[in-house]
C-alpha cells in the first residue's frame, strides 16, 4: 500500500503497514503467526512456538555486547475488531486500511490495530536491524490478549530466559507504567419464552449510535455514554406508560470496550406511536443535554421496521430491562494510594440474543485490589440473580503490583530524561496488561511498560500519534543499549 511512506522511523512504520494487511482477530491469529515464523526464517533467527500459539524470536547480542543480560520485548498479536455501523469489513479476511489524518494515523471505519500492532512493528524493526547496540534480545509475541489473556496464561516456565521485560502495550508517550489492574468477566444469561407477535402492534427500531466507546480500562473514567444503558433507559420508561413488546435487543460487542451502539426492535400500540415519537424526541433532548459535551456525535434514531414473528414473554422482558437498569457501569472507586487513578470499575459491555431463547449479558470488572475485583463481580452477580438469571464468572487475571525500585525502571527513566530533557511520569494503569500473569509464572521478573500515544483504542476512532512513535522508538533503542 505504501500509505505510510515518509513517516519516521521508516522501518517501524513499514512493518506496521505490513501488519495492517494481515488479519489477526483474537483467537484467530494463524496468519500473523505464520508471518512471524517466515520472518524469523528469512532473517536466520531462532524461533519457537508453543501449543497456545505464542511465538518467541531470539536475536544474539551485537558485537561487544555479548556479556549483557537477555532482555525480553513483548507485545500481543491479536487486535480488537470493531467497525462503524454501515462499514463493510470482514476482519477474518480483509486488510485494515490506514491513512494519515494530520498528526495521526487512523483507519477507515474500523479499529486500526495499533494496539498492539505498533509494538509488533517495533519488535520486528529491532530484530531486522543490524546497526543497533544491544545485548541478547528475546521478542515474545502472545496470542489472545484482548479476549482473555489466553496466551500469557498458557506460557510455560522456561519459554523465555530473560529476567527483564519491556511490555510494548501502553498508550501514553511520556508515561512509564509499572503496575496495572487485575480483571475478570461476569456473564449473565436470561432465559425467555418465544411468543407469537400480538395483533395490533406497530414495529419500530430504536438505535443509539455515534458514541465514542473506547477502552473499558483507560476510558472508563471519562464520563462517556454507554449505548446499552441509554437505550435501556428509554425502553424501561416506555414500559411504564405503554404495553410494548421487545423482539430484539443488541448492544455492544467486546467485553473490554465501552458499548458504542445499541439497537432494539420494539412493538408498540398503533394508537400510541405518535405519542411515543413525542416521548422519544423529549428523551433525545434530555440525553443530549446530559452527555453531549462528552459525546458530541451521539445519534438517537427511531424508525419503522419489519414486523417480527416473535417477541419475548412479558416476564422476561421486565427482568431484562430491570436488570440492565440496575446493573452498575463505570467507576466504583478511586485509588487512595495513587491519586487520580481509578481503583475499581465495571463495564456493561454487551447484550446479545443467542440461540435457544437466551439473552447473554457480558460485563467486565477491573481493580487494583483483588478484593475490589471480587466485590465488583459479586455486585453485578447480585443484580442478575434478583431476576433469576444464570451467572458465571471468568477465571480473571491478576494485577501487576508496582515495584518503584525496579532496575529496568531506573534505566528507562534515565534514558528518557537523557533523550528528551524532561522527566517521564511513572504510574500504574487501570487497564489490564499481561504483566501480572508473567509475574505469576516468572517470579522476580523485572518489568516496565511504555509506548506511543494512542487514542480511541478498542473503537473505530482508534488513532496513533505520529510524532510519539519516533520518541517511542528512540527510547526503546536507548534502553536496549543500556540494559
Give the residue extent of every domain in the chain.
Answer: 10-181+399-482, 184-393
CA 176 to chain centre: 19
Sign, CA dihedral 204-208-210-213, equals negative
**Of all residues in the chain, what percent carry a pLDDT higher than 70?**
100
pLDDT confidence of residue 396: 87
CA dihedral 403→405→410→413, nearest 10 degrees, is: 50
| Cis-peptide into 116, omega within 30 deg | yes
Q: Which fold has domain 10-181+399-482?
A: Aminopeptidase (3.40.630)
Phi-psi domain of 331 (left: phi exceeds 0; alpha: psi -120 through 50; beta: other): beta
Question: How far apart are alpha carbons 21 and 14 in whole angstroms?
Answer: 11
Of residues 47, 58, 49, the one with CA closest to residue 137: 58
The pLDDT, as a whole number, for residue 91 is 97
Nearest Cα residue to 133 out of 410, 477, 472: 477
- Backbone phi, psi, residue 439, to 5°: -65, -35
C-alpha cell at position 159: 519459554
Flag whether the pTM goes above 0.75.
Answer: yes
Tell me which of 3.30.70.360, 3.40.50.300, 3.40.50.150, 3.40.1550.10 is the CATH number of domain 184-393: 3.30.70.360
> Does residue 452 have a pLDDT over 70?
yes
pLDDT digits (tens, 9 = 90+) for 92-106: 999 999 999 999 999
Task: List active site positions.
Answer: 78, 145
Which neighbouring-strand residues pair with 299? 209
DSSP letters along 33-45, please?
HHHHHHHHHHTT-
- Between helix 10-20 and helix 466-482 the angle, nearest 10°, is 110
Q: What b/e string do you get for 117-145 counting C-beta neighbours within 10 Å, with b at 16 or more?
A: bbbbbbbbbbbeeeeeebbbbbbbbbbbb
pLDDT band at 401 (very low <50, low <70, confident <90, very high): confident
The residues that bridge with 390 in the sheet, in sequence order, are 189
Cell numbers that stand for 154 in this block: 498458557
Asked whether the predicted pLDDT for residue 1 surpasses 80, the reply is: no
Cα-flanking dihedrals φ and ψ of residue 350, to 5°? -155, 155
- The per-residue pLDDT for range 113-135, each reduced to its tens digit, is 999 999 999 999 999 999 999 99
pLDDT tens for 103-116 read 999 999 999 999 99
Chain center to CA of 80: 6
For 210-265, how does the pLDDT look when each residue is reduced to its tens digit (9 = 90+)? 999 998 998 999 999 999 999 999 999 999 999 999 999 999 988 889 999 999 99
Q: Is the peptide bond before 271 cis (omega within 30 degrees of 0)?
A: no
Which three three-digit cell numbers place residue 102?
494530520
Sign of the torsion angle spanned by Cα atoms 226, 231, 235, 238: positive
Amino acid at each position: 500500500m505504501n500509505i505510510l511512506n515518509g513517516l519516521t522511523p521508516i522501518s517501524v512504520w513499514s512493518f506496521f503497514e505490513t501488519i495492517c494487511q494481515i488479519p489477526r482477530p483474537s483467537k484467530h491469529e494463524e496468519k500473523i503467526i505464520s508471518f512471524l515464523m517466515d520472518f524469523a526464517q528469512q532473517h536466520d533467527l531462532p524461533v519457537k512456538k508453543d501449543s497456545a500459539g505464542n511465538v518467541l524470536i531470539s536475536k544474539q547480542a551485537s558485537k561487544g555486547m555479548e556479556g549483557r543480560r537477555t532482555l525480553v520485548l513483548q507485545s500481543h498479536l491479536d487486535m480488537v475488531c470493531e467497525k462503524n455501523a454501515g462499514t463493510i469489513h470482514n476482519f477474518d479476511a480483509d486488510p485494515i486500511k490506514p491513512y494519515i489524518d494530520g498528526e495521526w494515523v487512523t483507519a477507515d471505519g474500523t479499529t486500526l490495530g495499533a494496539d498492539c500492532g505498533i509494538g509488533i512493528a517495533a519488535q520486528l524493526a529491532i530484530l531486522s536491524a543490524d546497526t543497533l547496540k544491544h545485548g541478547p534480545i528475546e521478542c515474545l509475541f502472545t496470542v489472545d490478549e484482548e479476549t482473555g489473556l489466553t496466551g500469557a496464561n498458557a506460557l510455560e516456565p522456561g519459554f523465555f530466559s530473560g529476567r527483564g521485560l519491556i511490555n510494548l502495550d501502553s498508550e501514553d508517550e511520556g508515561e512509564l507504567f509499572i503496575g496495572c489492574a487485575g480483571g475478570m468477566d461476569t456473564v449473565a444469561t436470561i432465559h425467555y419464552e418465544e411468543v407469537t407477535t400480538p395483533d395490533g402492534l406497530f414495529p419500530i427500531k430504536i438505535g443509539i449510535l455515534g458514541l465514542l466507546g473506547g477502552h473499558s480500562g483507560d476510558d472508563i473514567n471519562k464520563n462517556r455514554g454507554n449505548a446499552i444503558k441509554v437505550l435501556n433507559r428509554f425502553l424501561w420508561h416506555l414500559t411504564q406508560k405503554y404495553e410494548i413488546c421487545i423482539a430484539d435487543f443488541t448492544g455492544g460487542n467486546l467485553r473490554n470496550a465501552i458499548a458504542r451502539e445499541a439497537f432494539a426492535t420494539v412493538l408498540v400500540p398503533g394508537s400510541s406511536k405518535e405519542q411515543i415519537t413525542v416521548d422519544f424526541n423529549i428523551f433525545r433532548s434530555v440525553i443530549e443535554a446530559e452527555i453531549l459535551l462528552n459525546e458530541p456525535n451521539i445519534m438517537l434514531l427511531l424508525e419503522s421496521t419489519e414486523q417480527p414473528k416473535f417477541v419475548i414473554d412479558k416476564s422476561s422482558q421486565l427482568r431484562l430491562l430491570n436488570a440492565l437498569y440496575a446493573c452498575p457501569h463505570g467507576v466504583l472507586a478511586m485509588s487512595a494510594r495513587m491519586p487520580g487513578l481509578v481503583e475499581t470499575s465495571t463495564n456493561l459491555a454487551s447484550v446479545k440474543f443467542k440461540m435457544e431463547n437466551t439473552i447473554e449479558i457480558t460485563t467486565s470488572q477491573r481493580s487494583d485490589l483483588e478484593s475490589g475485583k471480587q466485590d465488583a463481580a459479586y455486585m453485578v452477580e447480585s443484580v442478575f440473580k434478583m431476576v433469576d438469571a444464570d451467572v458465571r464468572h471468568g477465571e480473571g487475571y491478576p494485577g501487576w503490583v508496582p515495584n518503584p525500585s525496579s532496575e529496568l525502571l531506573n534505566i528507562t527513566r534515565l534514558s528518557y530524561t537523557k533523550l528528551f530533557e524532561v522527566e517521564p511520569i511513572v504510574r500504574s494503569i487501570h487497564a489490564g496488561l499481561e504483566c501480572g500473569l508473567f509475574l505469576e509464572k516468572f517470579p522476580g521478573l523485572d518489568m516496565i511498560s511504555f509506548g506511543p500515544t494512542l487514542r480511541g483504542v478498542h473503537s473505530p476512532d482508534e488513532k496513533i500519534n505520529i510524532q510519539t512513535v519516533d520518541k517511542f522508538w528512540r527510547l526503546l533503542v536507548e534502553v536496549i543499549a543500556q540494559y
